[in-house]
Amino acid sequence: MKKKQGRQLIELAVNGEAYELAEEPQVTLLEVLRNDLELTGTKESCGTGECGACTVLIDGEPVLSCLTLALDCRDLDILTIEGLAKGGDLTHVQEIFLERGAVQCGFCTPGVVLATTALLKATSRPTDYEIKKALEGHLCRCTGYNKIVEAIDKVLTDGYLVNE
């Protein structure tokens, strides 16, 4: 019989808000986001880090929340898809994804949009290779990735920089 772990108090910074939660040590960030904070834009799919649907940004870097323990996220800045738009206004990346039909069923979209945002923040003029590398590990069954890459190209053509 497994010994049950005790809950630990943790403070998380998610989308600019501070949260204090009591969690079991084995609870993933994905579980906390979806179940405790009701931020369901972060999708639960494979649970093994293979699909990218659970991607969030931690300190600006894409991270698979299904493989990340919530306890390891203390003192880190967590950004989910819900926190990307400010005041209800979509970011340029989100707008172009919608405009170009890069959302299809929408299941992979939050992770792909966050990965794209991180890429454009780190590299204002990414190469095709860098774009493909940033999308590596994001499974999309609807678009064949063409619409997603077209949307990213449109963002770049518009001269939009995430850093601005």
Asked if the model's pLDDT at residue 98 lies above 80, the reply is: yes
Pairing of strands 55-58, 8-14: unpaired
- Residue 8 φ/ψ, nearest 5 degrees: -120, 140
Instruction: Give the three-class secondary structure for 158.
Output: coil
Domains: count for the chain: 2
- Residue 33 φ/ψ, nearest 5 degrees: -60, -50
Percent residues over pLDDT 90 in the chain: 74
- Tokens 């890429």 identify what position? 119
Q: Judge if pTM exceeds 0.85.
A: yes
Residues 29 and 63 both lie in one domain? yes
Are 48 and 66 in contact by the 8 Å Cβ rule? The answer is: yes
- Residue 154 φ/ψ, nearest 5 degrees: -65, -40
Report the CATH number that the domain containing residue 43 is assigned in CATH: 3.10.20.30
Residues 103 and 137 both lie in one domain? yes
Asked if the model's pLDDT at residue 3 lies above 50, the reply is: no
Kindly indicate the confidence band of residue 1, based on its pLDDT and cuts at 50, 70 and 90. Answer: very low
Residues 59 and 117 both lie in one domain? no
Residues 44 and 99 both lie in one domain? no
Report the Cα–Cα distance between both ends of the chain, in Å, rounded: 55
pLDDT digits (tens, 9 = 90+) for 41-58: 999 998 899 999 999 999
Residues 21 and 76 both lie in one domain? yes
Q: Which domain holds residue 147?
A: 92-157
Average pLDDT, stretch 97-123?
93
- Residue 11 φ/ψ, nearest 5 degrees: -110, 130
